[in-house]
Amino acid sequence: MAAAFGKRSVQTTTARVAPPRAAAPPPAITPPARVDLPTIRFPLVTITILVTLTLVFMWEVHAAPMLHRGLSPSVGALVGYGAIDRALVLSGGLWRILTAPLLHGSLDHLIGNGIVLAVIGFMLEPLIGPRWFAAMYAMGAIGGSLCSILLNDADIPSVGASGAIMGVLAGAFFCGASAKAGPKGRKMQTWALRLILPSLIPLAANSHVDYAAHLGGVLAGLTSGVLLQMAWPRGADRPELGNAAATVGGVIFAGGLFALVLIPHAAVTAAVAASTPSTLMPEEEMPQISTIDSDHARALLARYPHDPRAHLLRGFAFLKSDHDLADAEEQFREALATKDLLAAGLDPDFEKTVTVLLALTIAYEHRPDEARALGTPLCGFAAERLPDITDNLREKGICE
């Protein structure tokens, strides 16, 4: 048994046995695929611009010496704050190219521009990014100001963000044609076209709309759209050169705000008065207010649009001949506003005369409390210097 055991033992040890198979390595742990969280594309620049324009308009209303209906600062006040005026721009007021797009002539003006900017900004800014959007808006503002200077009459002041907004609309139309815009591109183009065309068709119309600024904004917007497409590599999520674009937009926008804040209004008033002495009406051409008719008043205002006396005469003609109370009030308020801006050679009683006529106009417009607040302190002056209207003042309860 021992031999048998030994033999078995030898056989067991000498037999060829396959080596045990190595254990398979544990399966490699594959890291989960990277999950990109959706990018939040909030139109921050659009909102910032809307808030800034609103705050600037609130400042205009607060600082304006007189307001028309609809919270409208006078033309004289807007020129003082930084409106585009060719003579003033060329005589050292280049900063007006930056400030005019920040100003608005009325609350309706601001609301209309704000709605258009919100509509197109909420579509375009998420597509091209805030930095390029800021640059496109700023370039539109500059283009609008330059075209306004070149194409408008020299004595027509201009304010408003419409040039900048036209630039954004033109850029949106250009970018909407790109494949990068995706299925929303056609919608963006449609909105842009609907808003651009009515703003460009009546280029020769005689109205308060600055179509020259619209044209300049569109040209600048198309230019910025071309530059943007050149800086947008195929397959990239956003165009390159974003920092450069942000610098352009930031410098232009901040420059306008700094000019509004830093340039003293007294210095602006002096500059305006010094630059326009030849536009004031010579004394020999000044008619008696009681004899003025509508045609004569209109002609004088066309020749001397910066002279507060021309506004007084036009307002009196509206009140006396045309029975147009709203336009009479507007002209009287304009006369009071421009008297501080262009006060050369005015009669010392000019302000009192205009205020009495404004009070009477407001009384006819069924605003008795406001009329009495303006006119009652001047009843003695009216009885002495304006006897022709004292009966009207008594009839309306302004004077006793």
Q: How far apart are the first and last CA of the chain?
A: 152
**Reported pTM:** 0.64
Q: What is the CA radius of gyration of the chain?
A: 35
CA distances from 120 to 42, 46, 115, 116, 196 (A): 13, 9, 9, 6, 11
Q: What are the phi and psi torsion angles at 29 (to 5°)?
A: -85, 110
Residue spans of the domains in the chain: they are 44-274, 278-395
Number of helices (H) and strands (E), helices first, in the chain?
A: 19, 2
44-274: CATH topology is Rhomboid-like fold (1.20.1540)
pLDDT means per 10 residues in the chain (400 residues)? 41 48 54 45 91 93 68 76 85 89 90 93 91 95 93 80 93 78 77 81 57 90 90 83 91 92 62 54 80 87 82 88 83 77 64 90 90 91 88 90
Count the helix, strand and coil residues of the chain and give each as a percent rounded to the nearest 5.
70, 0, 30
**Distance (Å, whole) CA 236 – CA 130:** 16
| Cα 392 from chain centroid (whole Å) | 42
* Of 48, 14, 79, 166, the residue nearest 342 (C-alpha): 79
